[in-house]
Amino acid sequence: MSGLAQRFNRWVAGNPDDAVLRLVFRGLVAASIGALAFDLASANGWVAPVDGTPAPADQREAMPSGLPTLPAILSPWLPGGDRLAPLPQTDGALGKAMTFELVSGGRLTAIGTITPGTSEAFAKAIQRHGEYIKTVVLNSPGGSVSDALAMGRLIRDRGLATSIEAGKYCASSCPLVFFGGIERHAGEKAAIGVHQVFAAKTATAAPASRDAMSDAQRISARCQRYLGDMGIDLQVWIHAMETPKDRLFVFKREELQALKIVTPPAAAPPAKP
């Protein structure tokens, strides 16, 4: 037995107090843990070796801290994200019935949900402001298909343009209104999305599923005829019919042009000789 061990035993024999023994035991445990921690840190390059040799370059980072970097989260209904995006939130003004306001530049803003009767309110706004309106500016999660069709046809009859400003959106039945513009423009990252149409349930609606399907088919036929009248590629409607009503098919920028959803930019006048 080494001299150190002999001295330790004699010390313990002369100090039989339990509290002292517990204190000694805890000290030994703490020392052991410290030695193991140091060995682990050295093996992983978190501290330099005792001989002064630098740790390898790929091991010179400090101990990991914080959370892993999360991928950027994009708004799901913007172009470039999920093609079948969740329906956008309808908080604030977008969750209320659509309202209309004439602003500078002959623009009539149309913001909010298209509820039954919105087409009548829109017609009154058109009648009230008359020749001052040049463009209808949309920002809407959609709503009543019948009202959207009526609004779009009125826009075309009046020879008005339609627009969706940068970062805004036009979803569900709202594109039907947008399609009515003789000129149609969408700003940077403006989102246009479609999905299946369905007949809204009412208190007097027949409960039979075949009646609901018949109503949906009639609405679908009206929409297809409308797209043809407005000069929109019918591929748009195929995308709509393939997308569940609780999702949106969001068109990419190149699709907006290829499917004639937006009109080409006006050509600049030729330079004078």
* Residue 197 near residue 171, CB atoms below 8 Å: no
Which parts of the chain have pLDDT scores under 50? 1, 12, 18-25, 29, 36-38, 40-81, 201-206, 267-269
Residues 6+ apart with CB under 8 A from 234: 224, 227, 228
Q: What DSSP assignment string belongs to 186-238?
A: E-TT-EEEE----PPP-TTS---HHHHHHHHHHHHHHHHHHHHHHT--THHHH
Q: What is the pLDDT of residue 268?
A: 47
Q: What is the pLDDT of residue 79?
A: 46
Rounded Cα distance, 76 and 87, in Å? 9
Domain boundaries, the chain: 3-53, 88-258
Q: What is the pLDDT of residue 262?
A: 97
Of the CATH numbers 3.40.50.2000, 3.90.226.10, 3.40.50.300, 3.40.50.1460, which one belongs to the domain with range 88-258? 3.90.226.10
Q: What is the pLDDT of residue 31?
A: 54
Q: What is the pLDDT of residue 270?
A: 53
Q: What is the pLDDT of residue 52?
A: 41
